[in-house]
Amino acid sequence: MEWIRLIIKALLIVLLQVVVFDRLQIQGWGYPMIYVLLLINLPVQIPRWAEMLIGAIVGLIIDICNNSLGVHMSACVALSFLRPILLKKSIQDVERIKGEINSQSIGLAEYIKCLVIMVLMHHLLVFSLEAWGGHSVWLVILHTLFSSLLTILMLLAYDYMHK
């Protein structure tokens, strides 16, 4: 039953990303990417192979909808691969967590720390891969910072609404 709820949640978030948030831009500087919530909030007990497979599928769907040639898939797989390491570094007692990662399961301060680290890493990879053709490093940094700020604020709002 839990898997069905997670699949429905994933479909809704990906649909929201593709239909609403991909078209939402703040002066061309900020692009909220709420789909990273699916990867960040995965249960801690999920097998590593399943976590990376979910990252690949989510990234592939976003790439297909945005015609972005594997940029999101690469960033999602990298985030899925590094997530267990990042969780161990940012959460004091990761073994005590049961279920999804959210502010209720790990506390607000640790959740914000996880969000900031993972969103910044993901967005930096996305914008670096998009800029491979020669965009300015400063543009990559600005897009990463503004998009990360928008994404983090939206994910915190989502977390607050689901308490």
Flag whether 75 is in a domain: yes
Q: Which residues contact 149 (CB under 8 A, 6 or more apart)?
A: 30
Q: Is 98 part of any domain?
A: yes
What average pLDDT score do residues 87-93 get?
Answer: 76
Asked if residue 149 belongs to a domain, the reply is yes
Whether the pLDDT of residue 95 is over 70: the answer is no
Whole-angstrom Cα distance, residue 87 to residue 111? 10
User: Residue 143: pLDDT above 70?
Assistant: yes
High-pLDDT (> 90) share of the chain, % = 46
Residue 134 above 70 pLDDT?
Answer: no
- Please report whether residue 129 resides in a domain: yes
| Residue 155 confidence (pLDDT) above 70 | yes
> Which residue has tokens 């097998």?
47
Q: Which residues contact 55 (CB under 8 A, 6 or more apart)?
A: 39, 73, 76, 77, 79, 80, 81
In a domain, 26, yes or no: no
The tally of domains found in the chain comes to 1
- Show the DSSP H helices in 68-136 as ranges: 71-90, 103-106, 108-130
Query: Token pair 């914008």 is at which residue?
Result: 127
Whether residue 13 contacts residue 155, with contact meaning beta carbons closer than 8 Å, is answered with no
* 46 backbone dihedrals φ, ψ, rounded to 5°: -65, 140
Segment holding 2, helix H or strand E: helix 2-16
| Segments forming the whole domain that contains residue 38 | 2-21+31-161
Rounded to 10 deg, the angle between the 137-161 and 108-130 helix axes is 140
Query: Whole-angstrom Cα distance, residue 138 to residue 110?
Result: 29
